[in-house]
A and B are shown apart, each in its own frame.
Chain A
Amino acid sequence: MSYRFDWSVLWSGPSGSWLLQGLVTTLQISGAGLALAIVLGIASGALRTATASPLRWLASAYVEFFRNVPLLVWMFFWYFGVPPLLPQTIQDWLLDRGVESWAGIFALGVYHGARFSEVMRAGIQSIPKTQLEAALSTGLSRVQAYRWIILPIALRLIVPPATNETVNLLKNSSVALTIGVAELTFQTRQIETYTAKAFEALIAGTLIYLLLCLVVSLFFGYIERRVAIPGLFVQRRLEEA
């Protein structure tokens, strides 16, 4: 098969700027989705360990409802299902400001918030009960104990699975192309359709995703080392005390 490689389609001509535009859009929706997921995840994960059962039930309902349905279905729900239920003024406002991107951000954020919540819960529950008892016995309220003692340790514990979830969110942002968001995967398909240079487009897309995810994991690795509490956990190298 005689295939002529033409890498210039990635940076010149009409298709030149598409890859960059797609990358920017991917970063935008992933960033906003991640912010939403972290807020929902921490809140819901903490609530799942609450003593008051209505709060626990609420958080559990959120988690089970949102993580047990495929993300693709959620994309359609947030784009086709939610806007018609909103008041007309909000609908018009959204239509002018990229309703597709907002639907994508909410779908990603809420879905990954549910998954993140479980990671958070695992972190909180792996802290010995004695820590909470000690905190309460010094006079802190339950909320204060969570805020000052439990959550700081839990957040340090969950850095590896949190990295996993972040990288997953970045990759799942590609599902947004089904509701018309012009993100990176969409743009690689566009380049492929308009220039017939399938290999160049797909290789470029693959390398960019790989690079993004590597940067994220390296960044989280740096964070992990930076905020580690010396002597509290088993580190990579077991050092003499």
Chain B
Amino acid sequence: MSLSNYVVEVNGIFGRWIKKTLRRPQFLFFSLVQPIVWFVLFTQAFQSIANIRQAIPGTNPIQYITFESLTGTSSYIQFFTAAVIIQTVISSAMQSGIGMVTDLESGYMDKMRVAPIHRSAILMGKVLSDGVRIVIQTAVIMALGFALGVPIATGVAGLLFLFAIALTFGVAWSGISTFIGLATKNSEATLMISILTTFPLLFLSTAMMPKALLPSWVQTVATYNPMSYIADALHGLIISGFDWGVLGVAALTILAVGAVSLSATTSLFRRTVSV
């Protein structure tokens, strides 16, 4: 089997997933409706956080902790943009595992397994399509942000970094849902476990609230929560500017999550599809 065959196979499977994604109403929901709901509802409900003003004891003249001093912006919506990106990316990643389970349930996986294609092409084509979907969804959110007046501190170069983070983190995270999908072989269980692990992690991170304003136990969780480091990097790019230290930590986090999730998924996938 040659490389050109492999390219044809991956391309075929990639195209299949792109078509499936675009034809399903839930894609529109996750890509458009949900970010709008998040942007509008959350920022309305929580906008008073940006007015926080807390005296620092023992300072003379009295100094205050403000939302701006903690985050670098007085606009909650600018801060919240990173949360919408992360939320959308992980929702999208969750769908990845469900797609795999649907193929197992419908018998389409067997159709592919009985064909003379490279087993890895099945996974590769899917991962590539997940990546493209995540890039499109991130673009939609950024456009929405612009429309709502969210500036990007780092400009076009920063946007490229932002897309790179969303893409790589999304692919790494999709490995988790695919793993759950292959392990349970049940779409309902996959969705449930994905939601139950994903949303708490999002709330227990620095994505929606600066760390200093979180209760102390949540701060502890947030310190060990990989999503915090992704959120910090995105906050930086959107609000303040390039901070290579923060971006480096985010890159390492993605590498670590990706290495674990994708290697576990690949080995489970091999066991699932091989005879």
A, B in one complex = no
B residues at A contact (CB < 8 Å): none
Q: Name A residues whose Cβ lies closer than 8 Å to a Cβ of B.
A: none
